[in-house]
Structure 1
Amino acid sequence: RAMPSNVEIKAKVGDPTAFAEKAVRLSQSEGEIIRQQDTFFNCSRGRLKLRDFTDGSGQLIFYERPDTDGPKLSRYSISPTNDPQSLQTVLSDALGVRGSVRKERRLFLIGQTRVHLDTVEGLGHYMELEVVMRPDQTVEEGQQVAEELMEQLEVSQESLVTGAYVDLLLKEQQDI
């Protein structure tokens, strides 16, 4: 079975208000606010996280993607849950917790791309582009969509970051 995939870009955002204004203009919407807590578990490859939407619903998400800056392919599988708390207990006991990330996400939809403006507790403001790939699209086509949107949103190459928020938080804790 082929896993669904997207092309992702993550970057630090210096001026979240200006970024939001551009995203509002391009998406022609105010965006949707989503509060979530992601708990990352130890696993032998890729990343496994439980996303708790704090409304009683959640998603167990496994994904694999290279830790490089710029557009990169991410393959993932998602299973919804109506009991994220008990699932977190079981997974914590079985695998151990790697780290946890709390964020407020403002989601904009622009074409086939999910644009996230994230306020991450302990890290600050970031944006993510997730170009949801169609089965007939090549990675290069997805990367081109991401790069064009980066230009329209005025995201600089210098602001790109690698890894997941949990990696950035764990690095911050080590540097203290």
Structure 2
Amino acid sequence: MPSNVEIKARVTNMAELTKRAKELSGTEGELLQQEDTFFFCQNGRLKLRIVQGGQSELIFYNRPDQAGPKLSEFHKTSITDSENLKKALSLALGVRGEVRKTRYLYMVGQTRVHVDQVDNLGNFMELEVNLENGQSPEEGQAIANDLMQKLGVKEQDLLTCAYMDLLLKEKSG
């Protein structure tokens, strides 16, 4: 399975983070409106990502809940009929919840830098260092740590869990 090293953090200064991401990528970033529907799943996580005006994907992934860089293994499948698939999976597995976000994507080398505004949660940053064949998770962690510093992300802002988990905590707490 493909894998990446991931970091997620809360953002206190969105303008500064966006400025640094633009400088590092040399681009204005790509705007993505995303709706992720999470389904109950025995192993790992399963979500249907619907991208407004873009390609929808069914994504399975497995990742530990820990602060800082973490290895994530995933499998993606392109979807052409997302609404019918969403209905079938909802009926078969049940819906755990939904996450809606406005995301700016910046590519910095082999890393996807996401600057996210998540509905009902706030502002976040996510790094996904896509590991190349033969590249170790430690090499990916070094890249992620370096980018974290360049973007001004502080250790105390790191998150251990997914947006879905944060939304469920908000709802129950």
Question: If the length of structure 1 is used for normalisation, what is the TM-score?
Answer: 0.97
Native 8 Å contact 2:32 2:52 kept in 1? no
Report the counterpart of residue 89 of structure 1 in structure 2: 87
Q: In structure 2, what is the Cα distance between the partners aligned to 1:113 and 1:84? A: 27
Native 8 Å contact 1:13 1:127 kept in 2? yes
1:159 aligned residue (157, 169, 172)? 157
- Partner secondary structure for residue 167 of structure 1: helix
RMSD: 0.8
Q: In structure 2, what is the Cα distance between the partners aligned to 1:83 and 1:45? A: 24
Native 8 Å contact 1:34 1:107 kept in 2? yes
Native 8 Å contact 2:30 2:104 kept in 1? yes
Q: In structure 1, what is the Cα distance between the partners aligned to 2:126 and 2:53? A: 23
Report the counterpart of residue 46 of structure 1 in structure 2: 44
Instruction: State the 1:66 CA deviation.
Output: 0.2
Native 8 Å contact 2:71 2:137 kept in 1? yes
Matched, 1:126 2:124: yes
Deviations 1:2-46 (A, max 9, x none): x00000000000011110000011111010000010000000010
Q: In structure 2, what is the Cα distance between the partners aligned to 1:111 and 1:26? A: 9
Native 8 Å contact 2:10 2:158 kept in 1? yes
Deviations 1:46-76 (A, max 9, x none): 0000001133731000000000010000000
- 1:15-34 to structure 2, matched below 5 A, reads 15-34=13-32
Unaligned stretches of 5+ residues in structure 1 = none
- Partner secondary structure for residue 5 of structure 2: strand
2:76 aligned residue (75, 78, 93)? 78
Paired amino acid for 2:63: R
Report the counterpart of residue 35 of structure 1 in structure 2: 33
Question: If the length of structure 2 is used for normalisation, what is the TM-score?
Answer: 0.98
Native 8 Å contact 2:4 2:72 kept in 1? yes
- Partner secondary structure for residue 142 of structure 1: helix
Native 8 Å contact 1:56 1:82 kept in 2? no
Identity of aligned residues (%): 53
Report the counterpart of residue 63 of structure 2 in structure 1: 65
Give the aligned length.
173
